[in-house]
Structure 1
Amino acid sequence: MTTDRPDTFVTRFAPSPTGRLHKGHAYSALLAYARAREENGRFLLRIEDIDTVRCREDYIEGIYEDLAWLGLTWETPVRRQSEHFADYEAALDRLKAMGVIYPCFCTRKEIAAEIARAPSAPHGPDGALYPGTCRHRSADEREALMASGKAYAWRLDLAAALTHIGEPLTWKDELKGTVTAEPETLGDIVLARKDTPTSYHLSVVTDDALQGISHIIRGEDLFHATHIHVVLQRLLGLKTPIYHHHGLLLDEHGQRFAKRNLSVTLADMRMHGMTPEDLKAQLLSA
């Protein structure tokens, strides 16, 4: 169904079609869907398929099948990120014009070697941070390397971005209260690559703004990403939604559910006779 109602509460479930949905996905989707119904708001489904190598059409169909099995409905048409690269390129161009991003010509191997030479290099939630090698290149050097055809990625110049913003950033999390952003924990993140003209961070904040998302309900594994998302939102003049980072479901070994573990996928559960009611009762007791 499609609606143009001017609701103030709009949330979304935004899976990446690189495998079948599992119990953790079901938990997050059901929380968002239930909240939208409680608030008389809107629930959107978005397909985050910027990775054109790993994302597959059969997984997209599987997402529709699994969510329908759970009893969820959503508005159409569904936004697929792979169909909107122009939106992300426009956002990237705005950041270029501000002077808050720079081309990085380092390979992953070169970055790893640089980090190995500096064991005290700062670390974030995803490991060692990019050491800033290309941040210090001159404009002439950058232009020469780009003209030579050398591959590069666009990185956020976090120091320049924070100087541009000029004030502390905060966001509201329904479970943690007002949170002061600490984007230094992620450093100069990649915003686009030669083979993919956007990144998760850039495309997500762009989509959330374009779709009018007011509340983002997602797992606490993405809490750290919000430190960067509020930076991009402020730079691009976008409204910061209210966040709700819920706890993660864990397996019997205390590990997060993963798509590679086929035994916890909704498709496998359905094949072995589990009903949506059984699963919902199981999730509510988790």
Structure 2
Amino acid sequence: MVKVPIVCLLFQAFFFTASAIAFPGSKAKALYKEGVFCIKSGQLMAAQQYFSAAISVDSGFTAAYLQLGNVYVLMHDLPSAQKQFRKVLQQEPANTEALETMANIFFEQNDYESALNYIEQAELSGADLLNRLKGLCYYKQGLYDKAIVVLLDAQKETPADADICYTLAGIYFNIKDFPKAVAAFEQARINGHPTDADFYLNIGTACLQTKQTDKGIDYLEACLSRRPGDPKALQALAHTHYTSGNYSKAIVQWNKLLFLQPGNAFARFMLGKAYIGNGEIAKGEALCDKATEITN
């Protein structure tokens, strides 16, 4: 199973709402500006104090509640962040920043139904580009068909987004729709997704499932060039070479896997079968017998 990447923007973005600071008095506004400066310089504790002070001066200062909530998000104090965003929404029920961030917080807390509820409210209030988060909620709920439909909509909105392509690829892989998985993995690569060992392992395995044997082998070898000794890649290559009748190459891969996992009876047995297929009958039978002893 492919681990579907869940890339949440919750801890990656920060919003500054210039229009919201037009109404408070000069003292609250000055404290707010100091808080913004502290955020930009990475002084989160000081920012928390300035925004709290601004709220003490003006309890109706919506922007200060919003930024205090964002500070708590950056500090990974999600319950405190939720408290501030709820205060924002008490004053401005259609505040899209607060609604979107609440949706992200509930997603982080694995409360996908609440996240979907806030996504719906945000969309009704005019927010857009939330299909990716919505699709991930459906995926985590096990609603794969709905997740795919919504993520395809997200892909249309931002066609160059490599993460959406890779997420779709992972879902297709896990529901065993390997042709679509291969296409989505390849599109993710074109869009700039990192081609690390996991990427090559996943696309290589999917290629083998779609009988694209040569491509699958190339991708699995690319995986091993980046992560030598990956047991899944070694076993997939060994099995592919064996079933293709390329016993000498199968022997190489089964030996590598057995070196890493000397107690792997299956690898030992298949190594024996590969030797037998390669004409080394006695050696192969001895390995098969040894594997049988281990399992018994």
Q: Where on the TM-score scale, by shorter chain, does this alignment land: which range?
A: under 0.3
Of Structure 1 and Structure 2, the greater strand share is in 1
Q: TM-score, structure 2 length as denominator?
A: 0.22
Structure with bigger RCO (C-alpha 8 Å, 6+ apart): 1
Answer with 1 or 2: which has the greater Rg: 2
The alignment's TM-score, normalised by the length of structure 1, stands at 0.22
